[in-house]
Structures are given as C-alpha cells and as structure tokens.
Copies of this chain bind each other. A is one copy, B any other.
Amino acid sequence: MTRKPVLALVGATGAVGTVMIDILNGRGEWPWGEVRLIASPRSAGKKIAVRGQEVTVRALAPEVFDGVDVAMFDVPDEVSATWAPIAAGRGAVAVDNSGAFRMDPDVPLVVPEVNTDQIAHRPRGIIANPNCTTLSMMAALGALHRELQLTELVVASYQAASGAGQPGVDRLHAELAAVGGKQVGERAGDVREALAAAGLRQDTSPFPAPLALNVVPWAGSLKEDGWASEELKVRNESRKILGIPDLKVSATCVRVPVVTTHSLAVHATFARPVSVARAREIFQAQRTVVLVDDPAAGQFPTPADVVGADPTYVGRIRQALDFPNTLDFFVCGDNLRKGAALNTYEIAEKLAGELAN
C-alpha cells in the first residue's frame, strides 16, 4: 500500500488502554499514518496526546472503523464479542485482548516471538492476545520449547492486583493504607478487622478475600470440578500458543499483594535432556527475555524490580533433582505490558509490516 496504515485503539481510557498509550508514545519505529482512539460514549470527546498530537476520543460506533487497518481492543469480553467482528466486517484486522475469541479455532492466539507465523491464518479477521498470566511466561517457555519440546507444565502463580484492572489496584492501595503501620496479621481475622475499621467492605472488593498481608488462591470465575477460569486459561492457551494440543498442565493461580507484574513458579518437563547451562544460553539468545540468576549475589527477578519493563525476566533456574528432563524456574512479567498492551501492540506492528509488503 502507498498510504500509511491506520491504527485504532478501542478502550483507550481503561487500565490497559492507558498503558497502550504509553507504549505508542515510547515506540521507536512508527509505521502508522493515523491513530484513532475509541472508548465508551462517556469518555468520548476527551483529548489524549499521542506522540505529541492531541487525539480526540471517539465513541464506539460501526463507522469509526471505516478506513482502519488494525483495531486493537482492550475492553471487556462482551464488548469485544460484539465489536471485534464489526471492526473486521469494516475491513480492519481486530487484535483482541479479551477472552472472547482466544479458543476460537478460526482465531489465532499469538505471541510474536513464539508463533508469529500464525498471524497469517485469520479467517475471521480477528487475532487474539493471550491472558496475562499465560503471557507472563510464554516468551521464556516458547524459547525452551523450540529446542527441547515441552511435554509437561506445573505452575503456581503470584498474580498482581492490576490483573483485576484499576479497581484491583485501587483496592490494594486502600487496603495497604488501612494496614500500613499497624501491627496486624498475627491473629486470625485482624486484617479483616483493620479493613472494616477503615470502611473497606469485603463485598465491594474485586477480590474474594483481603489482599493486604494475605494471599488469595483464586483468580477468575468458577469452572467445572473446582478449577478457576484463570487456571484453565493457562492450560488451554499454553497448548494453543505452543501448538502442543496434548501438553499436560496443572496451574494454581494465587493473587498476591503486588500492584503490577505477575510471577510464576514453573516446573517444566521436556522430551529432550535439559541442563541449566543450556537453558541459560537459550534465554540469553531470546531478545525478549532477561536472565537475572545469581542467587549468591542476591540476584533473581522480583515484581517490584520488573514492573514497567517490556521483557520477561527469568531466574532461579534449577535442574529438577528427581524429575528427568525437567527445569524449575521463576519468571516475572509486567502483566499490563507484555501481559496485555505490549503483546497486542507487537501483533499490530507485525500486521503493519505485512500491510507494507
């Protein structure tokens, strides 16, 4: 094409949308001729600076997609379910960060450094962005899988409050304000009492239990046989992204009092023999992975040090002592960046490259 492509961002004023604007403002290469910001009618008219130019937010409507080449959706499932097909019907490729289309066999689920080739097959004109928990480990696992063939995965997550959006972040800050400086956490129920005393009702929290001074073994909604939706997403999305339909997966998802950046303890078994030395080489060769693994010097990834960063950080790499071909390691990934906005934008960027050819 001779004209430069047009990019739209639906959900420009939400938690992930706000991070997306940061990414647009900070990106070096810029293939786009125009950026359209789209949100609910309530946010329409708002002005947001994108690369030095004020852009007026438009209300979501079919005609805003006319002339759009790539439309990124950072909105709830039900909004995407309705509007991504409308955008696609008007000629845009929809890149959707909701859960609405991820398991649709006619919608590729893409992590550019893992399965970028799948972008090409998009019969519905929609490409899905994975769940943030899955995404937080995918760059690292994908790199290992390419050489070693992943067969089994047991993961436990340490998920940040912002995985539940801005209400999750606000709640954690409010809870920390209520317990900070108080000697609580040593008696059953005293955290609940401190929150109640500060006027924080549990039934208005996005989390099913206090998050300050606590961990909450639950994320998402209840699915069959006691599984949380987030745990099944880790299983099903890992299988689809890595192209291993029979990958064995058990995940336990736990919310921790961290604002942003998901961490995972990963126990990964491969078809081929593994070594820590080779795993380090593989991670070092993967440009979107940063290796921080020198426990003798106190060096390992922690969410407080990784938040705001684009890459996935990996450390604590150990060869399992009792399980053949198995590595144990710890990963941290910013759930709003690589876990959401950044990966979506990287897919959009690939599409821009495709349009330019």
Interface residues of A (CB under 8 A from B): 152, 154, 156, 158, 169, 173, 176-181, 183-192, 208-210, 213-218, 222, 225-228, 231, 235, 247-250, 252, 254, 256-260, 263, 265, 267, 276, 293, 295-296, 298, 300-309, 315-323, 326, 328, 330
Contact = CB atoms under 8 A, between A and B. Distances in A.
Contacts of A227: 318, 321
B214 A304 contact: yes
10 contacts: A154-B154, A185-B307, A209-B298, A209-B305, A210-B304, A214-B303, A217-B330, A249-B321, A250-B267, A257-B257
Contact of A308 (B187, B259, B308, B316): B187
Contacts of A316: 217-218, 226, 252
Nearest to A227: B318
A242 B278 CA distance: 35
Nearest to A232: B321
A248 B325 CA distance: 13
A180 to B, nearest CB: 2
B216 A302 contact: yes
A317 B228 CA distance: 11
A265 B304 contact: no
Contact of A187 (B213, B307, B320): B307
A320 B248 CA distance: 9
Given A298-B209, A323-B248, A158 B215 contact: yes
A307 B209 CA distance: 14
A323 B322 CA distance: 17
B265 A254 contact: yes
Nearest to A209: B302
Given A235-B322, A249-B321, 13 more contacts: A176-B179, A176-B213, A186-B259, A217-B263, A217-B301, A217-B330, A218-B298, A248-B322, A250-B322, A250-B323, A257-B257, A265-B265, A267-B267
A225 B300 CA distance: 15
A252 B300 CA distance: 13
A351 B66 CA distance: 81
Nearest to A188: B308
A188 to B, nearest CB: 5
A225 B185 contact: no
A268 to B, nearest CB: 10
Contact of A258 (B214, B250, B258, B318): B214
Given A235-B321, A305-B209, A321-B249, A300 B217 contact: yes
A66 to B, nearest CB: 36
Given A177-B181, A188-B307, A156 B265 contact: yes
A303 B210 CA distance: 10
A318 B230 CA distance: 14
A309 B301 CA distance: 33
A283 to B, nearest CB: 14
Contacts of A326: 250
Contacts of A249: 321-322
Contacts of A300: 209, 217-218
B226 A317 contact: yes
A215 B267 contact: no
A181 B186 contact: no
A161 to B, nearest CB: 9
Nearest to A215: B158
